[in-house]
Amino acid sequence: MIFVVDFGSQTAHLISRRIREFGVDVKMVSPEEAYQKAVKEKAKGIIFSGGPASVYEKGAPSIDKRIFDLGIPILGICYGQQLTAYLLGGEVKRGKIREDGPATLKLNASCPLFDSVSPHSRIWMSHGDEVLKPPQGFSLIGESETIKSAAIANEKRKIYGVQFHPEVEHTEHGSLILQNFLEKICKISTRKTVISIEDIIEDLKKTVGNKKAIAAVSGGLDSTVAAALVARAIGKNLIPIHVDSGLMRKGTTEKVIRFFTDKLHIKPTFLKTQKEFLSVLKGKTDPEKKRKAIGKLYIDLFQEECKKYKDVKFLVQGTIYSDVIESRGTKNSANIKSHHNVGGLPKSLKLTLIEPIRHLYTDQVRAIAKKLDIPDEIINQQPHPGPGYAIRILGEVDEKRLEIMQKADEIVVGEMKRSGWYYKLFHSFPVLTGAKSTSVKGDGRVYGEIIAIRAVTSVDRMTADWAKLPPELLQKITSRITNEIPEISRVVYDITTKPPATMEWE
C-alpha cells in the first residue's frame, strides 16, 4: 500500500492514478491522519503531493515529523519536497520568480530514483518557493536552469524530494521515476492495469436498480460516455435530455440525436433554449457569475422537465476529475474556477447524482468510449466546455457577439481539420477577448475586437503545452477571420502553457 498525502495539489489525485496504473494499492490521506494511518496500515511507501501554500505561511498544511522516523520510503513532490526539507532543518525560500511550465532536469549523481532516466530530460514545474539548502544528510542530485534543488535525496533514510511533477504527462520520464520509487526504493512489484467497464456497469446496476435516470447530454465526450455506461446498466430506463443552449458548436444537437437514436436506440428529449440562456447572461461580465448563472438555469430546466416523468430518481452527469479539482476538490487545494456540473444538486430537485466517470481523466474516458463503440466523431472531437461559448466570449454575451464567435470558431475548426492539425491537438479555439484595436480595411479605419487563438497539446487536461502550428496555418486563419468578420480588427496567438494558464481563458 502506498499513501499519497494530499497537501492540496491540483495533481494529487493524478499521483494516485499513476500508482494505481502500476497495479499497486494506493490510498489518499490528509496530512493530519497520515502518520497514524501509515503506522496502523503498514504503508510500504509515502508520497507527499504538491500544494498551493508556502511552508512558512501561517496555517500552511504540515505533518507529524515522526513520519520521517518510521523507516518508510518517502517521496516529496513540489510542496512535499519543500515541507520535507523545512521540517528536517533545511532552508526554504521564495524564488526570485515563479516557475510554471517546461524546464530541463540535469542529473548530478546516480540514484535509484532516476535509474534509466537520461542525464538531461524535460520536466514540468509549478512552484514559487524552492529549497535553498537541503537538510543535513541530503545531497543535491538534480538541478534545472533556475534552481539547484530540482531533486534531493537522503538514500540512507530513503527520503527523496523533487521540485518538479513526475505525475504529469509533460514530464518526460515521470512514469519511470514513479516506477523506480515503487520498485527500487519501496521494493514493490508493479504491473500494468486497465479500467474495467464491466465493474462500472455492475456498480450502476446495483445503484439504480429498476428506477429511471435522467442524463444531461451535451454531445461532448464526457456526457456521452457517462450516459452510454448508464444505458448499458439500465437500458431504456435512461432518459437522455439535451439542452440546446445556443452556446455549443454547430451540429452538436444533430450529433446527439443521431448517436442516441441510432446507437443506443433511445430517443433523447430536446430542449431549445438559446433565448433563456442569453437572458440569464445579460449584464454579466464576471466569469464566475456567468458559470453559476448557466449552472442554475440548467438545473431549473431539468427540474421542470423532471415533472413530466414518473419514478425518476437519478441524474447522470459527465463530470470528470479535472472538473472536480479545478472546483476545489480537496481541503487544501485552491479554487481555480467553478464548473457548472460540480457542486451537487439543490434539495428541491430530489434526485440522486450519478457521476460514473468522476474519478477519471480525458484519456481514460476516451479509452472507455472506444470499448463502448462510441463513434469516432465523438471520441476524437476536441472538448467543448459545458458553458460553451459563454466562457470563450470575455465580457457580456449577447446575440451579436455570439454570432461573431460562432463564425470565428467555424473558421478555426475548419482550417484545423483541412490542414490535418485538428486531431493532433487537445484544444483549438478562438477567444473573443473584449479588447479592441485599430485596423485598416479598405483604406478606412476600423476599431474592432481582438480575437485570440488557443491551440494546445495535452493528454489528461492537467497540463498542456502550446501547439507549434505552422505560420502558414496561423496566417490562413487570421486572414479569414479578419476578412470574413468585419467586427474583428486583429488576431493574436496564445502561447501560454498550463500551468500557469488554465485551458480556457475564463
Of 82, 81, 2, 77, the C-alpha closest to 34 is 2
Q: Which of 78, 99, 169, 415 is catalytic?
A: 78
CB atoms within 10 A of CB 30: 15
Beta strands 444-457 and 427-441, pairing class: antiparallel
Residues paired with residue 270 on neighbouring β-strands, in sequence order: 242
Query: Could you tell me whether strands 139-143 and 91-107 are parallel, antiparallel, or unpaired per DSSP bridges?
Result: antiparallel
User: In the beta sheet, which residues pair with residue 294?
Assistant: none
Going by C-alpha positions, the residue among 488, 493, 484, 481 that lies closest to residue 447 is 488
How far are the Cα atoms of 202, 224, 229, 263, 269 from residue 373, in angstroms, in the given order? 18, 11, 11, 9, 22
Active site residue 165: yes
Residue 295 corresponds to which cell in the numbers above? Answer: 449552472
Q: Which residues contact 78 (CB under 8 A, 6 or more apart)?
A: 9, 49, 50, 51, 126, 127, 162, 163, 164, 165
How distant, in Å, are the alpha carbons of 38, 74, 83, 166 from that of 69?
12, 11, 15, 25
> Of the listed 165, 173, 242, 339, which one is catalytic?
165
Strands (E) in 158-284, as ranges, are 159-162, 212-216, 238-244, 269-272
Q: What is the DSSP letter of 389?
A: G
Which residue type, as a one-letter code, is found at position 417? K
SS3 492: strand
Burial readout 336-350 (b: 16 or more C-beta within 10 A, e: otherwise): ebbbbbbeeeeeeee
**Within 356-398, where are the H helices?**
362-371, 376-379
Beta strands in 51-185 (DSSP E): 74-77, 91-107, 120-133, 139-143, 151-154, 159-162
- At 100, phi and psi to the nearest 5? -130, 120
Residue listed under C-alpha cell 455506461: 229
Tell me if residue 95 falls in helix, strand or coil: strand
- Closest C-alpha to 233, from 261, 198, 194, 262: 198
Q: Which amino acid is at 111?
A: C
One of 21, 143, 167, 172 is an active-site residue; which one? 167
Which cell is 201 given?
A: 456497469
Catalytic site residue 167?
Answer: yes
Active site residues: 78, 165, 167
